[in-house]
């Protein structure tokens, strides 16, 4: 048993639907600009390649629940996304083999400090401030590919206080899941435990203390997130 000099970080994992086993999370990759209507609402160029960024794994909020309104923002946005969980990986995975590496799927939220995004972009600064903050990655339980099969379509919806704000179909992804896995593996060695947030459709918006977000994708376990009091 190794003795650490300070308290080691908590484990990061997701629940698995219908199993007592847990899905350990190694990295949280995120794809930006992957639904046309969202690119248009963000005034971005739809011909740009999708953006790749990461969130720290301790930003994960397993199964949602209450998250504090984050510090350092006055414009907290939700982005409902399909999350893909990998059971294996490697470099340079060909598209036709990509689905062999998928363990399963979950519903997730890419919470965003929207007020810092434009400044980061305009000044060529990293995206951590806008995307990689504490509690910024609520993710529901993983449904295995054995249960649901390969997911390339299915309705996604996000409601705020019962009112639908995002409604789209997974089939509208610009970069499909197999292409995302292939592209990511050109840049990084993908590993078991990696999860990928695949991008959000149109309808993003701000939330505030007390708001309740209901996120769902057909066939997956839905997730509810409540925005609590301001952190710290």
Binding residues for Mn ion (CB under 5 A): 79, 110, 200
Q: Which residues contact residue 56 at a Cβ distance below 8 angstroms, ignoring those fewer than 6 apart?
A: 28, 132
Closest among 12, 8, 228, 230 to 139, alpha carbons compared: 12
Nearer to Mn ion, 42 or 148 (CB): 42
Q: Residue with CB nearest Mn ion?
A: 110
Q: Looking at beta carbons only, is 143 or 200 nearer to Mn ion?
A: 200
Q: Smaller CB distance to Mn ion: residue 16 or 59?
A: 59
Residue 228: C-alpha distances to residues 72, 138, 206, 224 (Å): 15, 14, 14, 13
The least distance separating Mn ion from the CB of residue 29, rounded to whole angstroms, comes to: 11
Nearer Cβ to Mn ion (110/178): 110
- By C-beta, is 12 or 200 nearer to Mn ion? 200
Least distance in Å: CB of 145 to Mn ion? Answer: 23
Least separation, in Å, of the C-beta of 205 and Mn ion? 13
**Per-residue DSSP letter, 116:** G
Question: Three-class SS of residue 214?
Answer: strand
Phi, psi of 16, deg, nearest 5: -120, 125
Tell the smallest beta-carbon distance from residue 33 to Mn ion (Å): 9
Q: Which is nearer to Mn ion, 79 or 214 (CB)?
A: 79
Least Å distance, CB 110 to Mn ion, is: 3
* Cβ atoms of residues 50 and 31 within 8 Å: yes
Q: Which of 158, 175, 160 is nearest to 35 (CA)?
A: 175
The CA-to-CA distance between both ends of the chain, in Å, stands at 35
SS3 call for 31:
strand
Minimum distance from residue 96 beta carbon to Mn ion (Å) = 26
């Amino acid at each position: 048993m190794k003795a650490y000099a300070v308290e080691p970080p908590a484990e990061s994992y997701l629940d698995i639907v219908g199993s007592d086993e847990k899905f350990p999370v190694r990295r949280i990759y995120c794809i930006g600009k992957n639904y046309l209507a969202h690119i248009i609402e963000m005034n971005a160029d739809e011909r740009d390649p999708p953006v790749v960024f990461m969130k720290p794994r301790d930003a994960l909020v397993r199964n949602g629940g209450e998250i504090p309104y984050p510090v350092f923002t006055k414009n907290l946005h939700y982005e409902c996304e399909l999350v893909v969980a990998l059971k294996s990986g490697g470099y340079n995975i060909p598209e036709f083999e990509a689905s062999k590496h998928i363990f399963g799927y979950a519903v997730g939220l890419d919470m965003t400090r929207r007020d810092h995004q434009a400044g980061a972009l305009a000044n060529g600064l990293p995206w951590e401030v806008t995307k990689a903050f504490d509690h910024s990655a609520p993710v529901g339980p993983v449904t295995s590919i054995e249960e649901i099969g390969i997911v390339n379509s299915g309705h996604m919806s996000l409601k705020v206080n019962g009112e639908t704000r995002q409604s789209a179909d997974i089939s509208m992804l610009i970069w499909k899941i197999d292409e995302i896995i292939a592209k990511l593996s050109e840049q990084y060695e993908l590993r078991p435990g990696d999860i990928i947030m695949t991008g959000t459709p149109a309808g993003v918006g701000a939330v505030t203390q007390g708001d309740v977000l209901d996120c769902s994708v057909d066939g997956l376990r839905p997730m509810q997130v409540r925005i609590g009091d301001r952190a710290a």
